[in-house]
Amino acid sequence: MFYGVPLTSRLMLGTAQYPSPAVLAQAISASGTEVITVSLRREGVGGTAFRDLIRASGCRILPNTAGCHTVKEAVTTAHMAREVFGTKWIKLEVIGHADTLQPDPFALVEAARILCADGFEVFPYTTEDLIVGEKLLEAGCEVLMPWGAPIGSGQGLRNIEGLRTMRAHFDGVPLVVDAGIGAPSQAMQAMEMGFDAVLLNTAVAKAVDPVGMARAFGQAVQAGHLAMRAGLMPPRDMASASTPIFGMAELV
């Protein structure tokens, strides 16, 4: 549940870089997602036709401030997105490094504070830094979206211990792994660790078969969550036979 909105799917899907609008529509359907992210810049390029396509999907729209590098730019983009899409939800990105696209934590917290005070329901794209996470919650965010790896890199969960620590520290806070997921197995791993959802784009949009990959991610996220709920077997230092020796026949 995010900001009081219950969802059955734990996969959030981006809408950029698909080979055609038809493929995008099919991928959204195949994934089973209920939330799609849309950049205001992308929507501007697609115009009314693109807006009609994403609304026809029946999914909840999560606009984002992709490409923003300053507080002013991010806040202005968020206000424009609220007018265009009629939603208080906003995925807040304030990029601080041109090569890694790492969030600027100082600008991110400042922008989050401004937007939360203005009635937005903010989904901040952040790192796994606990202090930044605390500051974002203090600013009014009710969700945190730590990166798995740099955007579009496909490296998966690059700092597993950091993400585990974040999950344990923010018990009860919805956490979404956002960025860097390149394979369904990586999305499943995030869900097995107890994260509430994953958000991805490039791994589906740039696949040889985006529709098939979208379906694979949808199933992987579901499987990972079910496995976490069922209780994963802890790793052991030594072998432990699944078939006990007691009761076996003795050959003389």
User: Is 182 known as a binding-site position?
Assistant: no
Any idea what DSSP says for residue 248? P
User: Is 202 known as a binding-site position?
Assistant: yes
User: Is 180 known as a binding-site position?
Assistant: yes
CA 7 centroid distance within chain: 14
Sign of CA dihedral 12, 44, 42, 50: positive
CB of 150 closer than 8 Å to CB of 180: yes
- CA dihedral in degrees (160, 134, 120, 198; nearest 10)? 10
Q: Which of 72, 88, 91, 206 is catalytic?
A: 91
Between CA 52 and CA 57, with CA 53 as vertex, the angle to 5 degrees is 115
SS3 letters for 217-234? HHHHHHHHHHHHHHCCCC
**Residue 206 annotated among the catalytic residues of the structure:** no
φ, ψ of residue 87 in degrees (nearest 5): -135, 150
Q: Which residues are catalytic?
A: 91
Instruction: Output the known binding site.
Output: 152, 179-180, 201-202
Instruction: Output the known binding site for 1-deoxy-D-xylulose 5-phosphate.
Output: 152, 179-180, 201-202
